[in-house]
Amino acid sequence: MADSLRRLINNESCRILQEKLENWYKDYHINSCDQNLNRCCEIIEMNSMIQGQLFTILNQTAREGGHYAGVETIKSRLLPWLGTCFSSTTSGRPFETSLSLIQESIEKERQLREFASTRNHELQQLEKELNSTRLQLTLVQQDLKASQAQEESTLRNLDRLNDYEQQVQILKDEIAILGAQKSVLHSRLARSRSPSPRPCRSRSPSPLPLRSCSPGRARLTNAARHAHLVARFSEIYTQERLDAQNLLRTYIDDLEIVQRIIYVAAVESFHAAKMAFRQFKMRVRKTLSLTYSGPESLEDTVLDYIVRHEDLYDVQASVNEVIRAMNINPKISFPPEVDFIMISSLIRELCRVAFSMQTLVPPLDIAFGADGELFNESKYRRSYDSDFTAPLVVYHVWPALMENDSIIVKGEAVSKRGALWSRRSRSKSRSRSRSMSPILSHSASPSRTLLPRSRSPSPIRSGSPRPALNTSNTSDCLEPCAFT
């Protein structure tokens, strides 16, 4: 830039231009029009040369200043001057249009730069807010983890507290039993030391004190437990039964066989649970009868103890007994590559419910059902694929629940015309493909053999006797009676 400026000074172009202007001014009035115009054009040409050199110097100066150096000066001084010069010397509009476009582009560029700076500022603010939000979220997550840990600790403490309460209650019961035994022993000791020669008419301990008729825990909670167990029985029908049915359908295509298996499992579960309840009740009565001297009757005390200690019921033993009974049942067939243990969860829930139902007063039981019996609308509902005009039951899907002789929950059965006789003819030619479980040789009772079983009525019912619930074994002998 300095070299160009030095050359411009050395050429003395400006001085020569000044001299020509002064000479033209002196000769202006004596010159002709053509001479004046020639002088003016000559001066303009020289002036343009000087302006060209000045614009070159301007370009070099702006380039040395950087990319954005001198922009404000050019916009504030050069562009307005150029617009004024050209507008005064030119009568057309194209240059004004281009100038306005240049100014608009410059204005837009300025607005874009302002917008970009504003957006950068906003982005910085958003980043700051995002960092603050992340920090708050981290703190909230830490508080949540602390709260979860505290809640888990509280739940564990509650579980331990419940265990302690149960242990305390068990200890109280044991203390009461020991106290009763102690009082009986003291009374025996006092009688042995007494000189009165009273004859001993029996071997029983001293007479028990008068017992009040105040209800125990079992009778106080009987209504609530009754409602809960009835609801649980219906829930097993709608949930666990369908789960077991879907599981069995993956191995067995015949829906009738699957439903028969589930029905036999329900019947055998109630039978096993009732047998386990009788044995458990006999053990408790035997233990308490020797030393008990409380205000309640012995039967109420035994029932209260069973209600409080239902967790002592060995449900797995009942499940094993049910599976053994199903393995030797001739009414159901099963592929040899699978086992009835697949539906052990259903059997376990049925055993638990059936055991708890025996603690009610009066106890709940399932109704007896046999293939070929007359369909009873008050006892069963028909399946969706039944013949609603058929009078006989082909097979049962789910047993009905009874209280004494009243139906409180209906069962489900399938009724079809003529299907019973054809099924019986097919069952005579069908052989069983499943072998007996090897555990039968050690733990099965003599009554549970490969022959059909028949059970006597339950001895604990005080009302009219009813047949046993093993419908899978008694239905063969009852079907001809239904037709005769």
Q: Pull the structure tokens for residue 407.
A: 């139906």
Q: Is 418 helix (H, G, I), strand (E, B) or coil?
A: coil
The Cα 25–Cα 475 span in angstroms is 144
Q: What residues of the chain score a pLDDT lower than 50?
A: 90-92, 196-214, 425, 428-484
Q: Is 392 helix (H, G, I), strand (E, B) or coil?
A: strand
**Cα separations (Å) of 140 from 131, 135, 148, 247?**
14, 9, 12, 45
**Cα separations (Å) of 27 from 21, 23, 50, 83?**
10, 6, 24, 33
The Cα 78–Cα 83 span in angstroms is 9
pLDDT for the residue 437? 39
Pairing of strands 380-382, 411-414: parallel
The DSSP code sequence of 444-482 is --TT-SSSPP--PPPTT--SS----S-HHHHHHHHHHHH
pLDDT for the residue 191? 59
DSSP classification of residue 261: H
| pLDDT tens digit sequence for 96-146 | 565 677 777 788 888 888 888 888 989 999 999 999 999 999 999 999 999
**Cα separations (Å) of 50 from 3, 21, 62, 80, 453?**
15, 15, 18, 20, 131
| pLDDT tens digit sequence for 296-333 | 788 888 998 999 999 999 999 999 999 999 999 988 87
The residue written with tokens 């399946």 in the block is: 383
